[in-house]
Amino acid sequence: MAVIHHTTLKPTKLELLTSWLPSRPWYGGGAGRPELTKAGGFRLDDPQGAVGIEFMAVTDTSGSHPAGYLVPLTYRGAPLDGAEHALVGTMEHGVLGRRWAYDGCHDPVLVAQLSALFEGRVQAQDQNTTDAPDREVTHSYTGAAPLPTDFGGTVTDDREGTELAAPQGITLRLHRVLRPVPDGRSLPPQGTTGHLAGAWRLPDGTRARGLFATLHTSHPA
């Protein structure tokens, strides 16, 4: 069980993301710096208790229209070998000391726990409260085979999100650009074998709901 420490972070998570987000292909902001606010998200527990896992939703108001982004992050007490390209930055935690923050798509601990969430073997946790399930997060998986816990390290970013592909023909797609799902539209979407959905706060204070991730399975001819 992850323990939430209400303490100081220098720099803050939003300050790290302000520098990192413009480097992503799916970031759609203007030429200026992002103007970020935390809009929601959830956490997952690392069974070993060593890695912090957070799916953070942020809103950027620097452009002509507010934009929401999903940023999976992991927090570690030491650098992750071979993941220098995925480092978002380092922070000084008031309780835990130096923490290395990574783009979680490249962290095997996050990927394994995300697979477990799709299959219902773990539960999403509240972002700010210790040992409190997040009931707004929904998930499904209808595939016949168990999901891989390692997607083989193949991670591809495009203008809409991030794809992780497994040798078994399963593709996990993270919807980095958050878009509300209109009322009445069914989840999971047609053509998928699994989905992850949740809620976040819009700039006007209302709550939106949409897809965080989907699973797709290719079938041999």
Torsion over CA: 22, 178, 212, 55 (sign): positive
> pLDDT tens digits for 36-51?
999 999 999 999 999 9
Which H or E run includes 116? helix 108-118
Q: How far apart are CA 186 and CA 183, in angstroms?
A: 9
Contact 91, 16 (CB under 8 A): yes
Cα distances (angstroms) measured from residue 83 to each of 43, 88, 105, 123, 189: 21, 10, 11, 27, 32
Nearest to 104 by CA among 65, 148, 53: 53
157: enclosing H helix or E strand:
strand 154-157
Place of tokens 């210790």: 130
Hey, which bits of 26-86 come out as E strands?
A: 36-44, 52-60, 67-76
Residue 105, pLDDT > 90, answer yes
Closest CA to 11 of 83, 125, 98, 104: 98
Phi, psi of 106 (to 5 degrees): -100, 5
pLDDT per position as a tens digit, 44-100: 999 999 999 999 999 999 988 899 999 999 999 999 999 999 999 999 977 777 999
pLDDT digits (tens, 9 = 90+) for 121-144: 999 999 988 889 999 999 999 988
Domain ranges of the chain: 9-217
Helices and strands (H and E) in the chain: how many: 2, 13
